[in-house]
Amino acid sequence: MTLQWYDEAAVTRAEDAIRPFGIPNQFHPYLTLLMELGTDSRHRSNNSRVKVTAPGLDSVTDFVMLAKDWTCALETFDDTHLPKSHPRVLELKKDVKAKRLAMDRYNRYSIHVRGSTPDVYDILKTASFAEEFHTLLSVTAVTPDSRDIALQQMCPYERLDLGSPFMSWIPMYDVST
């Protein structure tokens, strides 16, 4: 099943959250790849399933300025001794996020792809890997939700001994069917 709608703002947040880890201030160019395999919808910005974004800034001075702006905003936020729900604190927090985002977008090349077919990923045809890719996606297990995790915790482990009635079906289990 493919989704035909979703929250565009949530997707933008996901795109913006992708960044190199372990490197606090990324000056060097880097590439992000976001693959939305469960939807065939098109991007609103270009009416295509593939959206490519290149950075807008191109000098070392720009990055130094962005890093300095972020550091100043962070220091101002840290020096504020108001309650967390105070409007000024919320405004400062928003400013820190905006400055960090501007710094993260510097030198970031991004590719955002929606879909899972060879029509979107031409390399699947070129490498003769389309059927295997489809199989991989069709057998991938869904992550359990919170109810499943809670139910798993309700089953005591002692029921799993070989003499237990909960295990009596195992000798009769036939893999060939």
Question: At 45, which helix (H) or strand (E)?
Answer: none
pLDDT at residue number 82:
85
Can you give the C-alpha Rg of the chain in angstroms? 24
Quickly state the pLDDT bin for 15 (edges 50, 70, 90).
Answer: confident
Quickly state the pLDDT bin for 5 (edges 50, 70, 90).
Answer: very low
C-beta separation of 3 from 38 below 8 A: yes
More confident residue, 175 or 123: 123
pLDDT tens digits, 69-110: 989 998 999 888 888 888 888 999 999 988 888 887 787 888
Give the mean pLDDT of 126-150: 73
Alpha carbon distance 51, 48 (integer Å): 7
Q: If 0-12 CB within 10 Å is exposed, 13-18 middle and 19+ buried, where does residue 62 land? A: middle
> Mind giving me the DSSP string for 47-114?
SSSEEEE--S---HHHHHHHHHHHHHHHHHHHT--S-TTSHHHHHHHHHHHHHHHHHHHTTEEEEEEE
Q: What is the separation, in whole angstroms, between the first and last Cα of the chain?
A: 27
50-59, 86-95, 160-169, range with greatest mean pLDDT: 86-95
Give the mean pLDDT of 5-32: 69
Can you name the residues that pair with 50 across neighbouring β-strands?
113
More confident residue, 2 or 75: 75
What b-and-e string marks burial along 129-148, b requiring 16 or more CB atoms within 10 Å of the CB? Answer: ebeebeeeeeeeeeeeeeee
pLDDT at residue number 2:
41
Looking at the chain, the whole-number percentage of residues with pLDDT higher than 70 is 64
pLDDT at residue number 91:
92
Q: What is the pTM of this model?
A: 0.57
C-beta separation of 66 from 103 below 8 A: yes
User: Of 6-15, 89-98, 125-134, where does mean pLDDT reach its minimum?
Assistant: 6-15
Sorted by sequence, the CB contacts under 8 Å of residue 54 that are 6+ apart come out as 109
Quickly state the pLDDT bin for 116 (edges 50, 70, 90).
Answer: confident
Beta-carbon-side half-sphere exposure of residue 48 (alpha carbons within 13 Å): 10
pLDDT at residue number 110:
86
Q: If 0-12 CB within 10 Å is exposed, 13-18 middle and 19+ buried, where does residue 108 land? A: buried
Give the mean pLDDT of 134-142: 73
Torsion angle, CA of 59/62/67/73, rounded to 10 degrees? -170
